[in-house]
């Protein structure tokens, strides 16, 4: 990671924490991933040579910048979906300042609609970080849009396990996927599309 970009990310993360602490309403918070989770994303994109990355839940672009940095390293592209247009605009500004805007396509869209429109096997890695109550409904499309041996990465699986019971049951009972829970940050579930 380029030092200037890392400094920008450190400042953006600090801003996000301070912003969130002042807000009682969870939906209003930026809810950026922990830096160690973001680092893990960067490692996974590089290790898998994931040139086609999908992020669901851009917020102001903190994790997107990490993914964009990795996309630059592997010669790939990131597509990131966010339902709130103001957040997409914030993310666009932050990505530009971080110098990764050339590696990321931002879309303001509902994740379910966007997912349904992608081709089978369209992505090498999908990072899921939106509203947990929706994840179970996304599951068939999440698996469908991943290529064979592609990876789905789901955040908050330890901190919000109770909200993910239905989704976790789908994952653990599915044929054709292999998964593990990594105790990094808020708990990251890694699901590979491979028996
Ligand atoms: C936890 S935040 C994402 C944080 C971001 N990944 C980061 O680490 O900086 C979740 C985001 O998902 C967005 N979101 C919620 N429901 C969505 C939906 N149905 N489709 C797309 N985005 C959604 C929210 O507006 C919010 O900005």
* Residue 56 in tokens: 């669901």
Rg, the chain, Cα only = 15
CB 124 within 8 A of CB 52: yes
For residue range 123-153, what is the model confidence (pLDDT) as tens digits? 999 999 999 999 999 999 999 999 999 999 9
Domain ranges of the chain: 33-192
Residue 107 has pLDDT above 90, yes or no: yes
Q: Would you say the CB of residue 63 lies under 6 angstroms from ligand 1?
A: yes
The per-residue pLDDT of the chain, averaged, comes to 96
The rounded Å distance from CA 27 to ligand 1 centre is 9
From 20, 78, 82, 100, mutation site for ligand 1 pocket: most ligand atoms within 8 A of C-beta = 82
Q: For the whole model, what pTM was predicted?
A: 0.97
CB 190 within 8 A of CB 151: yes
Taking alpha carbons only, the member of 40, 107, 105, 106 closest to residue 70 is 40
The rounded Å distance from CA 28 to ligand 1 centre is 11
For residue range 24-48, what is the model confidence (pLDDT) as tens digits? 888 899 899 999 999 999 999 999 9
* Residue 128 in tokens: 């899921």
Phi, psi of 10, deg, nearest 5: -60, -45
Which CATH number applies to 33-192: 3.40.630.90, 3.30.450.40, 3.40.50.2020, 3.40.50.150? 3.40.50.150
What local confidence, expressed as pLDDT, does residue 180 receive? 96
CA-closest residue to ligand 1 atom 26: 59
Instruction: Compute the Cα dihedral for 141, 142, 147, 148 and give only its sign.
Output: negative
What local confidence, expressed as pLDDT, does residue 122 receive? 98
From 125, 131, 154, 159, mutation site for ligand 1 pocket: most ligand atoms within 8 A of C-beta = 131
Q: What is the mean pLDDT of residues 105-121?
A: 98
CA-closest residue to ligand 1 atom 13: 57
Q: Would you say the CB of residue 132 lies under 6 angstroms from ligand 1?
A: no
* 121 φψ region: left (φ > 0), alpha (ψ -120 to 50), beta (else): left
What local confidence, expressed as pLDDT, does residue 27 receive? 87
């Amino acid at each position: 990671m380029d030092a200037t970009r890392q400094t920008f990310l450190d400042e953006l993360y600090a801003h996000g924490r301070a912003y969130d602490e002042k807000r009682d309403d969870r939906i209003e918070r930026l809810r950026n991933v922990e830096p160690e989770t973001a680092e893990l994303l960067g490692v996974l994109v590089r290790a898998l040579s994931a040139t086609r990355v999908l992020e669901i839940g851009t917020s102001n672009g903190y994790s997107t910048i990490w993914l964009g940095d990795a996309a630059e390293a592997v010669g790939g592209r990131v597509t990131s979906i966010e339902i709130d247009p103001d957040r997409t605009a914030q993310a666009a500004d932050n990505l530009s300042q971080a110098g990764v805007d050339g590696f990321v396509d931002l879309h303001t869209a509902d994740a379910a609609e966007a997912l349904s429109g992608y081709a089978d096997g369209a992505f090498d890695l999908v990072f899921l970080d939106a509203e947990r109550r929706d994840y179970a409904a996304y599951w068939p499309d999440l698996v469908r849009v991943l290529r064979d041996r592609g990876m789905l990465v789901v955040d908050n699986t330890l901190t919000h396990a109770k909200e993910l019971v239905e989704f976790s049951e789908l994952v653990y009972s599915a044929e054709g996927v292999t998964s593990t829970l990594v105790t990094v940050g808020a708990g990251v579930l890694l699901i590979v599309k491979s028996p």
